[in-house]
């Protein structure tokens, strides 16, 4: 266990942000919170700059896609406080078609490539990002391949058609 | 040391003090036993190629021990491993930098067809971007299979015309890839 328990952590965040941050759970002891895009930078900034918490390390930014529900795209932030040996996870869910969220590069320079990767695979637009373009996939790709509506298989491939296998 | 084998002379006209054959055949034999391969190894097939080059299997027996790490001096492009779509233009550039005559060997399932990586990020066979002479199946192929593929290349080299580049069929093939 870290120097700060999840209860203390949750209490500090609740005192500061009240009902703007809701608790999702504590899977595997990892406190998971949900918030909105209006206050995500405030929450991240508080977690990073608070003298006691010191979540100075941005482990990862990624996203997830749940098709068929109202707020399909979730953007997920993992933070680590090396001083207190504790981690936290933040989620922001957005409607498909309006996938805009403020950039975290104002807090961590390391968020630059993480946000480019999240844009590359999920099409999340990080407003204010200095250079939001594809990073891993080919530049001329039109799809956001980790979204569920795009097929995983390469459509150019013909040698796996059913008629080759008598189906 | 008495079992040294020499390459058989090509078919020709022989008489007292002379031997006549076509330049094509002589140069073909010469080329086939001194191919300089360019190993384009991106994954596990490249590891098998290392075994093929090593003394146990010894590709030097076929005259191909001199690897050319510059495409400009290479005769044979050996593509061994998964080629991601982002690597595709690089591979094409390497092929374009090779001088004629040039041959291409796709070693392993990934280079031949994309293999198990039937996915948005992987090129589904290098023959989508460059022409391929010999495909070696396997995942990865054993060194014997790579050597077998190499011997097929040697046969191609021996039997092809010297002016392969000028043949309409060959030019048509290259044009279909947007090369020339």
Which H or E run contains A12? helix A6-17
The CATH T-level fold of domain A6-165 is Beta Polymerase; domain 2 (3.30.460)
Give dist(CA B28, CA B24) in Å, integer.
Answer: 6
Distance from CA of B129 to the nearest CA of A (A): 13
Mutation target for A interface from B124, B129, B137: give the one with most A CBs within 10 A.
Answer: B124
Return the closest-CA partner of residue B9 out of A112, A141, B21, B1.
Answer: B21
Confidence (pLDDT) at A4:
86
Average pLDDT of span B136-151: 94
- Are A150 and B118 within 8 A, CB to CB? no
Q: A140 — contact with chain B (CB < 8 Å)?
A: no
**Percent residues over pLDDT 70 in chain B:** 99
- Are A138 and B85 within 8 A, CB to CB? yes
Confidence (pLDDT) at A99:
92
Confidence (pLDDT) at A2:
63
Residue ranges per domain, chain A? 6-165
- Are B119 and A154 within 8 A, CB to CB? yes
pTM of this prediction?
0.84
Give the model confidence (pLDDT) of A101-140 as tens digits: 999 999 999 999 999 999 999 999 999 999 999 999 998 8
Give the model confidence (pLDDT) of B16-69 as tens digits: 999 999 998 899 999 999 999 999 999 999 999 999 999 999 999 898 989 999
Indicate the DSSP class of residue B152: H
- Are B119 and A153 within 8 A, CB to CB? yes
Give dist(CA A32, CA A99) in Å, integer.
Answer: 21
Report residue B102 as tokens: 């040039």
Q: B118 — contact with chain A (CB < 8 Å)?
A: yes
SS3 A89: strand
Question: Nearest residue of B to residue A142 by CA position?
Answer: B120
Give dist(CA B176, CA B18) in Å, integer.
Answer: 45
Work out the number of other CB atoms within 10 angstroms of the CB of residue A68.
6
Q: The complex's ipTM?
A: 0.76
Confidence (pLDDT) at A55:
94
């Amino acid at each position: 266990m870290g120097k700060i328990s999840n209860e203390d952590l949750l209490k500090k965040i609740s005192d500061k942000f009240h009902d703007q941050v809701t608790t999702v759970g504590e899977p595997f002891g990892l406190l998971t919170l949900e918030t909105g895009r209006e206050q995500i930078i405030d929450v991240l900034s508080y977690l990073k700059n608070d003298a006691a918490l010191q979540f100075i390390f941005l482990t990862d930014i990624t996203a997830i896609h749940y098709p068929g529900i109202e707020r399909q795209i979730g953007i997920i932030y993992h933070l680590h406080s090396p001083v207190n040996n504790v981690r936290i996870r933040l989620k922001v869910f957005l409607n498909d078609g309006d996938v805009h969220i403020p950039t975290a590069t104002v807090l961590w320079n390391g968020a630059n490539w993480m946000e480019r990767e999240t844009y590359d695979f999920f099409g999340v637009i990080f407003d204010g990002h200095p250079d939001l373009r594809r990073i891993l996939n080919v530049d001329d790709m039109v799809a956001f391949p980790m979204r569920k509506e795009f097929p995983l298989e390469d459509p150019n491939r013909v040698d796996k058609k059913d008629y080759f296998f008598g189906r | 040391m008495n079992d040294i084998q020499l390459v058989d002379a090509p078919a020709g006209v022989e008489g007292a003090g002379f031997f006549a054959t076509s330049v094509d055949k002589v140069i073909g034999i010469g080329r086939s036993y001194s191919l300089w391969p360019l190993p384009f190894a991106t994954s596990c097939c490249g590891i098998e190629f290392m075994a093929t080059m090593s003394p146990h299997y010894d590709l030097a027996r076929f005259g191909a021990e001199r690897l050319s790490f510059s495409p400009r001096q290479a005769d044979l492009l050996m593509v061994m491993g998964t080629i991601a779509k982002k690597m595709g233009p690089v591979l094409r550039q390497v092929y374009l930098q090779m001088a004629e005559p040039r041959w291409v060997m796709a070693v392993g399932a990934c280079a031949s067809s994309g293999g198990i990586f039937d996915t948005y990020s992987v090129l589904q066979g290098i023959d989508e971007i460059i022409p391929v002479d010999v495909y070696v199946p396997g995942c990865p192929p054993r060194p014997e299979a790579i050597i077998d593929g190499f011997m097929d290349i040697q046969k191609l080299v021996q039997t092809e015309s010297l002016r392969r580049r000028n043949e309409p069929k060959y030019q048509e093939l290259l044009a279909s890839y947007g090369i020339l």
